[in-house]
């Protein structure tokens, strides 16, 4: 793809260089971010590029210096490829890689600067592969972003997630429906799902939501009424458009946390004043997480292996990629669409 253009093309099977592995792709998930990338007027990446930052598959072969792999092993490919040598990378926080922080507005990865997983084969640094054990690569592909990004966001506000806390999850699409499952599996909080799509709200009960609220002009009043006028201890916004940011801001409780994951180009103004009309309440923590750490990736794979985290999937042949991306942009994908070569 290149900005504004997304099409199928034949390219050669890449050769893994030193420290790299050739992965035979089993499944490649389509993310809301892919829609943003295709519609960017210019992007901070070299083009043309193969999209796909949410990939699982099997090890095919490897370059020099790679140890300990076997052909056929099932692996999840991390969606961010840090330098591997800076302090953040050595701590397993490639999402905060210092090399990329000096050079790029976002840390790069497959489908985000390097050729990604919407292909039959991809080359990845050996360091970026996580063993999946018996998990099916098609089913596991969404773990690579829709699973790990919410897991990271949740772990950043762990101290707010006490048993008596209320959590509002705005946008229960690809990332949001995984967030609900992770929250359900790892906390005793009351979970309220919010979306504009009634079908997604219905499905969210099976993902762990205790209550659902339609995202409309009454949503803030309804959520405040459901929380005794105080709001929710944590609000996750997986849409990131101005109406959801305003809603999140209106319903986050004093000393709560507002976690902005969605990149829908919305804005939220933060005013330093008292009493601040429309500004976040006193003590609110505002976080804008990106991607996930190694620790989050291991946790998500562990939850999936225990049967506690499973994406709702639509499987599509790789050849249908452009049409599936359009369907995702039009809000017609429920759960996650995975391309299968």
Query: Which residues of the chain form contacts with ligand NAD (CB under 6 A)?
Result: 31-33, 36, 145, 149, 170-176, 194-197, 200, 215, 238-241, 243-244, 261-264, 289-291, 331
325: three-class secondary structure by DSSP = helix
Going by their DSSP bridges, the two strands 190-195 and 166-170 should be labelled as: parallel
Q: Look at residue 341 and give the partner it binds from ligand NAD, Zn ion, none, a contact being a CB closer than 5 to 8 Å depending on partner kind.
A: none
Of 197, 255, 244, 189, nearest to 220 (Cα)? 244
Residue 76 tokens read as 């999840």
Nearest CB to ligand NAD, comparing residues 120 and 320: 320
Sign of the CA dihedral running 180, 183, 185, 187: negative
Instruction: Say whether residue 82 binds Zn ion (CB under 5 A).
Output: yes
Nearer to ligand NAD, 9 or 42 (CB): 42
- The reply on whether position 175 binds Zn ion by CB under 5 A is no
Nearer to ligand NAD, 73 or 196 (CB): 196
Question: Nearest approach, Cβ of 49 to Zn ion (angstroms)?
Answer: 15
| Residue 246 near residue 267 (C-beta atoms within 8 A) | no
Least separation, in Å, of the C-beta of 244 and Zn ion? 17
**Which residue's Cβ has the minimum distance to ligand NAD?**
173
Q: Which of 257, 248, 255, 173 is nearest to 207 (CA)?
A: 173
Angstrom distances, CA of residue 99 to CA of 59, 81, 105, 114, 184? 28, 11, 11, 16, 36
Is 38 near Zn ion (CB under 5 A)?
no
CA distance 76 to 292: 13
Q: Which of residues 121 and 238 has its CB atom nearest to ligand NAD in the complex?
A: 238
Q: Residue 16: CA atoms inside 13 Å, Cβ hemisphere, count?
A: 21
Verify binding: residue 145, Zn ion, rule CB under 5 A: yes
Distance of closest approach, residue 131 Cβ to ligand NAD, in angstroms:
23
Q: By C-beta, is 3 or 264 nearer to ligand NAD?
A: 264
CA distance 225 to 221: 6
Residues with Cβ within 8 Å of 102's Cβ and at least 6 positions away in sequence, in order, are: none
CB of 315 to ligand NAD, least distance (A): 16
Q: For residue 118, what is the DSSP state?
A: S
**Residue window 62-81: x/- pattern of binding to Zn ion, with contact defined by CB under 5 A:** --------------------
> Smaller CB distance to ligand NAD: residue 126 or 257?
257
Q: Interface with Zn ion by CB under 5 A: which range of 12-20, 132-140, 143-151, 220-228?
A: 143-151
Using alpha carbons, list the distances in angstroms from residue 98 to 46, 260, 286, 288, 294: 20, 22, 22, 17, 16
Which of Zn ion, ligand NAD, none is residue 175 near (CB under 5 to 8 Å by kind)?
ligand NAD
The residues that bridge with 166 in the sheet, in sequence order, are 190
Q: Phi and psi dihedrals of 252, rounded to 5? A: -80, 140
Q: Which residue number is nearest to Zn ion in terms of Cβ? A: 31
Closest approach of Zn ion to the CB of residue 77, in Å: 13
Kindly indicate which of the ranges 23-31, 101-109, 215-223, 326-334 contains the residues binding Zn ion, using the contact rule CB under 5 A.
23-31
Residue 201 lies near Zn ion (rule: CB under 5 A)? no
Closer of 22 and 95 to ligand NAD (Cβ): 95
- Residues found near Zn ion in the complex (CB under 5 A): 31, 33, 82-83, 86, 89, 97, 99, 145
């Amino acid at each position: 793809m290149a900005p504004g253009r997304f099409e199928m093309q034949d390219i050669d099977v890449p050769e893994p260089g030193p420290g790299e592995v050739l992965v035979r792709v089993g499944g490649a998930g389509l993310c809301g971010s892919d829609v943003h990338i295709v519609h960017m007027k210019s992007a901070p990446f070299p083009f043309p590029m193969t999209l796909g930052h949410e990939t699982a598959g099997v090890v095919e072969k490897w370059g020099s210096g790679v140890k300990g792999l076997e052909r056929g092993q099932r692996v999840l490919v991390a969606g961010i490829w840090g330098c591997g040598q800076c302090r953040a990378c050595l701590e397993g926080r490639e999402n905060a890689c210092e090399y990329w922080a000096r050079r790029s507005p976002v840390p790069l990865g497959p489908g985000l600067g390097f050729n990604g997983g919407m292909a039959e084969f991809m080359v990845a640094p050996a360091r970026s592969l996580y063993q999946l054990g018996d998990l099916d690569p098609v089913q596991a592909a969404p773990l690579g972003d829709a699973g790990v990004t919410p897991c990271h966001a949740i772990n950043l506000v762990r101290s707010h997630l006490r048993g008596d806390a209320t959590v509002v999850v705005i946008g229960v699409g690809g990332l949001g429906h995984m967030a609900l499952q992770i929250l359900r599996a790892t906390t005793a909080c009351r979970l309220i799902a919010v979306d504009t799509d009634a079908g997604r709200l219905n499905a969210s009960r099976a993902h762990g939501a205790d209550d659902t609220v339609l995202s409309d002009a009454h949503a803030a009043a309804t959520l405040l009424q459901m929380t005794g006028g105080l709001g929710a201890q944590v609000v996750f916004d997986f849409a990131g458009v101005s109406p959801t940011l305003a809603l999140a801001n209106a319903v986050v409780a004093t000393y709560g946390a507002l976690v902005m994951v969605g990149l829908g180009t919305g804005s939220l103004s933060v005013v330093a004043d008292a009493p601040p009309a429309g500004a976040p309440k006193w003590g609110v923590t505002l976080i804008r997480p990106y991607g996930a750490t190694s620790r989050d990736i291991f946790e998500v794979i562990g939850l999936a292996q225990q049967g506690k985290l499973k994406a709702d999937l639509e499987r599509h042949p790789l050849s249908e990629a452009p049409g599936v991306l359009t369907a995702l942009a039009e809000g017609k994908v429920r759960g996650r669409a995975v391309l299968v070569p």
